Chain A
Amino acid sequence: MEAIINIDKLNLYYESYHALKDVSMDIPEKAITAFIGPSGCGKSTLLRTLNRMNDMIAGTRIEGAVKIGGTDIYSDDVHVEALRKRVGMVFQQPNPFPKSIYDNIAYGPRLHGIRSKSELDEIVEQSLRQAVLWDEVKNFLKRSALSLSGGQQQRLCIARALAVQPDILLMDEATSALDPISTLKIEELVQELKDRYTIVMVTHNMHQAARISGRTVFFLNGEVVEADETQKLFSTPQDSRTEDYISGRFG
């Protein structure tokens, strides 16, 4: 499988704290890659470097390269807005805007210059369909997004991310605030989306990583300990630290 993201000897510091140490990996296109590891291991930090969310944290310093589609996303001529259009993100807590369902989805496309009502209507419908939310909300598009349940709000956030037609979707513990049924719906949705998008997810739920990802990367103390096909990593891990972590011996 072709790699869409190439990370080469990435080191990241928050002030003097060395959060990522010599991280190198290729992330395959149109597949689900899961980052696992104990709290503070660097998995979310790495996820946030992929759309430069760390830029907002003062004192962050980066060495090495992160390339998406061959372009170094930290080079001076890369516009962060364009990067984030290409690399969408879904967070742990659903964070719909206090607007209507329709306006939540249309927000990004409008920002990128789309004004035509019919075009926006189509984007809204398509995005909600892809996020498997359309049938539940199609008659209430003008209703506030905040009236939706937590699971619906999270699918709305996924639809909102898809509305600007990204290549990559980053998910930072996107189901950890949801009940099991909503979690299952998101997992099924993510499985469907992987044919069209590259998905990178951070999860504290190891069984979620095992259930839905194709590749899993295990982090410990800012380093990549092991990266492999998920089925292999969870059945015959090569490093004893991986075995200990997934078997609940620490973390």
Chain B
Amino acid sequence: MIRRKEFDQNLEELRNLLRAMGDHVQEALKGAIDTLQTSNIAKAEAIIKRDIDLNQMEEQIMEIGSRLIVTQQPVAKDLRRIIVAFKISSDLERMGDLSIDIAKVTLRIEGQELIKPLVDIPRMAELAGIMVEESLQSYLDENTDLAYKMAQDDDEIDHLYSQIIRDLYAFMTANPDNVQQAMLLTLVGRYIERIADHATNIGESAVYLATGQRPDLNN
């Protein structure tokens, strides 16, 4: 039989850790785009270093969740709360890694002048940041409407990504001797697009938590 008081405290801890991981990811993504725009090498390196905190929080979630499963044998929604915590923490950890990949692009460009002013990439990153926030809110409030709305945001992201690819492809065709930076910026678009996909995964987890059903918000 579950000892509710201790169990509920531990579930609350899982929620708090996920909230903290979400904040961390939002900061890392925003910061990484900022370093790209400002060629701020020191800040890019600091973002890469801080990833260890995110990994530690994910491990903590794995530890608390496994312990609860072993000691309390939860069922129904209690079990879903833990399954979802595992799944969301893994999505957030991946999002952290992708933000680092963006910061690494800043390092690789290494202070070169940008081939063009960044417009669509920051817009895409801003939208992805909103999706991260929405995904966490949909989880914390079990707000399925918000989770379903993210499918539309993801379409917008995909649209922006296609536009970035088109622009950079045109640039590479016109400047065949200068493709390296354009390739790196294409990758940045890809990283942001993947971050948004992980945000929709979190939305799916929120719907699963609330209803026990698994929707597909990313098709």
**Same assembly:** yes
List residues of A whose CB falls within 8 A of some B CB.
206-207, 210, 234-237, 243, 246-249
Nearest Cβ on chain A to B193's Cβ, whole angstroms: 33
Choose from A206, A243, A248 the contact partner of B77 (Cβ within 8 Å).
A243
Cβ–Cβ contact A247 & B73, under 8 A? no
Cβ–Cβ contact A247 & B74, under 8 A? yes
Closest to A248 in B: B2
Cβ–Cβ contact B73 & A246, under 8 A? no
Chain A residues with CB below 8 A from B79, complex form: 235
Closest to B72 in A: A248
Cβ–Cβ contact B76 & A243, under 8 A? yes
Closest to B3 in A: A248
Nearest Cβ on chain A to B4's Cβ, whole angstroms: 6
**Total number of B residues with any Cβ neighbor in A under 8 Å:** 15
Chain B residues with CB below 8 A from A249, complex form: 4
Cβ–Cβ contact B212 & A248, under 8 A? no
Cβ–Cβ contact B1 & A248, under 8 A? yes
Closest to A251 in B: B1
Q: How many A-B residue pairs have CB under 8 A?
A: 31
Cβ–Cβ contact A235 & B4, under 8 A? no
Chain A residues with CB below 8 A from B80, complex form: 235
Nearest Cβ on chain B to A247's Cβ, whole angstroms: 5
**CB of B78 within 8 Å of the partner chain:** yes
Chain A residues with CB below 8 A from B73, complex form: 207
Could you list some 27 contacts between A and B, CB below 8 A? A206-B75, A207-B73, A210-B75, A234-B75, A234-B76, A235-B75, A235-B76, A235-B79, A235-B80, A236-B76, A236-B211, A236-B212, A237-B76, A243-B76, A243-B77, A246-B75, A246-B76, A247-B2, A247-B74, A247-B75, A247-B76, A247-B78, A248-B1, A248-B2, A248-B3, A248-B4, A249-B4
Q: How far is the CA of A246 from the CA of B1 in the complex (A)?
A: 9
Chain B residues with CB below 8 A from A235, complex form: 75-76, 79-80, 212
Chain A residues with CB below 8 A from B2, complex form: 247-248
Q: How far is the CA of A235 from the CA of B211 in the complex (A)?
A: 10
Chain B residues with CB below 8 A from A243, complex form: 76-77
**CB-CB nearest 3 A-B residue pairs:** A248-B2, A236-B212, A234-B75
Q: How far is the CA of A234 from the CA of B73 in the complex (A)?
A: 12
Q: How far is the CA of A249 from the CA of B4 in the complex (A)?
A: 7
B1-35: CB near A (< 8 Å → 1, else 0) gives 11110010000000000000000000000000000
